[in-house]
Structure 1
Amino acid sequence: MASKVQVEKVATLTGHRDCVYALEPAAEEHLFFSAAGDGMVVTWNLQEPENGELVARVSTSVYALCYLPQRHLLLIGQNQEGVQVIDLESKQILKSVPLPKVAIFDIVHAAGAGKIFVAMGNGAIAVLDGDSFELSTFIRKSDKSVRSLAYNQHTNELAVGYSDHKIRVFDANTLELKHELVSHTNSVFTVAYSPDGELLLSGGRDAHLRVWEVDNNYKERGYLIAHMYTINHITYSPNGDHFATCSMDKSIKVWDAKTFKLLKVIDKVRNASHGTSVNKLFWSAHQNQLVSCSDDRTISVWDINF
């Protein structure tokens, strides 16, 4: 089965001077953003991948980006500072939202609820107004870091992975805690809803990929020991038929989203992949290309043919 998937590295994007932590799609499917430990936020074009364009530079490392396509704004999680809202037309800072001086691990736009959620290293989720970006409140359910966020537009729910090993699911409107999922044995670094909103996938430091049934009160369907070390990120393909995971074990794995069969392993030995931890993925609708970024300071672009 595995041999049917053809993978080819079509580009290596260099320019960041530190570990690359964040990838975020732009409005047009061939464009995306990256951010790194060097404080640089860069936009890239998959049609001409050699040249990145600097969008913003902040004074600290950046783990989280969130793009708002309707308004062509980019939210930058500036660690220890807060959220910067960048107008991409003018490249000006539209707004700075000061937050407690901790790391910002994730930002998600819950369009249906008109809110922006910000995952913070002090265990709080900052809730910003989706229009004005004013800070409206904090959700505090743990004193351990909030590591990952996912919004389900079908159910209007926010799934949150914490370093206290739990996943908490909130009503994105009322902010009420609806479910607490307790199966992971370590920090939950990534949560992802399937495009149809029916499944939640989660992964983290215990290297287990867990599958939860949304309409069945988040009953756990099962798990896979998906990697040797920490699962850093999960992303679905644009058509929802596949998903990919990446890990601190330096590999990227491609899976069948219905059967959960492993279809392909992308690694340094077989594919000249990253030499250190792979931190984030972005699966583009542009020629179905998968983009990965790493502690090795590079971004790789992969052609994947099923």
Structure 2
Amino acid sequence: MKIRFFSIMTALFVLLTFTSNSMSQDLQDDPQQDDFYDGVKVKPEKILPKDVYVLDIAFSPDGNHLAVVGDFGILLYDTRIVDKPIKIEENTGIVRSVAFSPDGKVIASALLHGTIRLLDSNTGELIQTINARTRKEDKKLLIIGVSCSPDGNTIISRHNGQVDKTIRLWDIDTGKLLRTLSGHTRRISGMAFCPESKIIASGSYDHTVHLWDADTGKLLHILSGHTRFVYSVAFSPDGRVIVSGSSDKTLRLWDVNTGYLLHSLTNEAIHSANSVAYSPDGGTIASYDGFVIFLWDVKTGKILRKFRERYRVTGGMKVVFSPDSRTIASLGYNEVNLWNVNPGRHLRTLISGNKNVPSLKVIESKSN
């Protein structure tokens, strides 16, 4: 009898897990998902029922605001005060990614169903719509990432790997396609613009990082060494070094000019490096594996501090520094948290689609 009961409970657990994963995938793949909510200013708990998906975050260049996006649209939080977010309304569909222009006046949002919308960050007014599905073969194209060039003239996008393994460059004023960067053999999972030069980095499931000339589209270097998926890439503030995070449990630092490997960072506590970020002051690298946010000292390669997060079940996963390097925003387990970098403490949870979840804490690293 006990054996039969155990078998039934095991089967039920497997069924529930499969159903949950299927619902998550269906929601992320549904390009027609509506995201409108009434009201200009709304409370997070009124906007987010339990089963929504938070998919990306981005700090404004002045650090005063944090954009949060998902299947509910775009919310803009003032990071200086505990207040209601501003709802940016000019979006329909699942917003998969978000980025600010360098001057902070424009918000670029990537809609899953193949369009990039440029919005006035102050008014929410639609400035430009870029349609990535201009060709017959782009019918099933999904945009899963967007970023803005340091000069504010170009938008780059990455896409679902089953259909497209390229990065596309778009003119921010005209919305026209400038060029396409082709070379990866599997899905592109991360990309970044170099802050000091016109170089684009892309990380891929093909285990490599590619460095591209943004003006010509020429492939400059292929950085090989990771043994599993490369999930995320980020440039140092001076543009001389790029860090890549991988599911092989390492962070690798590369020389941008030569393509040579400089350092490899790892620790037995790391499960993966799904998101990486360089602090604007150049002294610290943050990595996030779905369980813990690690802060690394760039000079020594040692872990300075660990922020205990909750395990990510749904939504996106990301960690970003504020422009003054004093605050970290993290996206995981379907919620967004703000952390003080030094001495290290949880400041507050901005938004959450979860209920009855365990508490967050900071773990000081004593021996790394």
| 1:65 positional shift | 1.0
Correspondent of 1:195 among 237, 245, 255: 237
Partner of 1:179: 221
> Which secondary structure does the structure 1 equivalent of 2:274 belong to?
strand
Aligned counterparts, 1:1-306, within 5 A: 15-17=47-49, 18-36=52-70, 38-56=71-89, 58-70=91-103, 72-99=105-132, 100=138, 101-112=140-151, 114-121=153-160, 122-215=164-257, 217-226=258-267, 228-248=270-290, 250-267=291-308, 273-276=309-312, 279-285=317-323, 288-294=326-332, 296-306=333-343
CA RMSD across the alignment: 2.3
CA distance, structure 2, for counterparts of residue 287 and residue 199 of structure 1: 18
Identity of aligned residues (%): 20
The one-character-per-residue Cα deviations of 1:56-87 (angstroms, maximum 9, x if unpaired) are 36444333211114371111111122211112
1 or 2, which has the higher helix percentage?
2
Q: 1:90 to 1:23 in 2, by over 3 A?
A: same
| 1:289 positional shift | 1.6
CA distance, structure 1, for counterparts of residue 325 and residue 242 of structure 2: 26
The one-character-per-residue Cα deviations of 1:61-117 (angstroms, maximum 9, x if unpaired) are 333211114371111111122211112233122222112333323222223594221
Q: 1:71 to 1:214 in 2, by over 3 A?
A: closer
1 or 2, which has the higher strand percentage?
1
Greater Rg by CA: 2
- Amino acid of the structure 1 residue aligned with 2:247: R
Question: 1:208·1:223 contact (CA, 8 Å) conserved in 2?
Answer: yes
- Amino acid of the structure 2 residue aligned with 1:221: L
The one-character-per-residue Cα deviations of 1:24-77 (angstroms, maximum 9, x if unpaired) are 1114322111112x2421111112234222113644433321111437111111
> Which secondary structure does the structure 2 equivalent of 1:111 belong to?
coil
Count of residue pairs brought into register by the alignment: 285
The one-character-per-residue Cα deviations of 1:3-42 (angstroms, maximum 9, x if unpaired) are xxxxxxxxxx765453322111114322111112x24211
CA distance, structure 2, for counterparts of residue 173 and residue 39 of structure 1: 35
| Larger relative contact order (CA 8 Å, sep ≥ 6) | 1
> Which secondary structure does the structure 1 equivalent of 2:317 belong to?
strand
> Which secondary structure does the structure 2 equivalent of 1:89 belong to?
coil
Q: 1:76 to 1:213 in 2, by over 3 A?
A: same
TM-score by length of 2: 0.71
TM-score by length of 1: 0.84
> Which secondary structure does the structure 2 equivalent of 1:305 belong to?
coil
Partner of 2:23: none
CA distance, structure 1, for counterparts of residue 265 and residue 285 of structure 2: 14
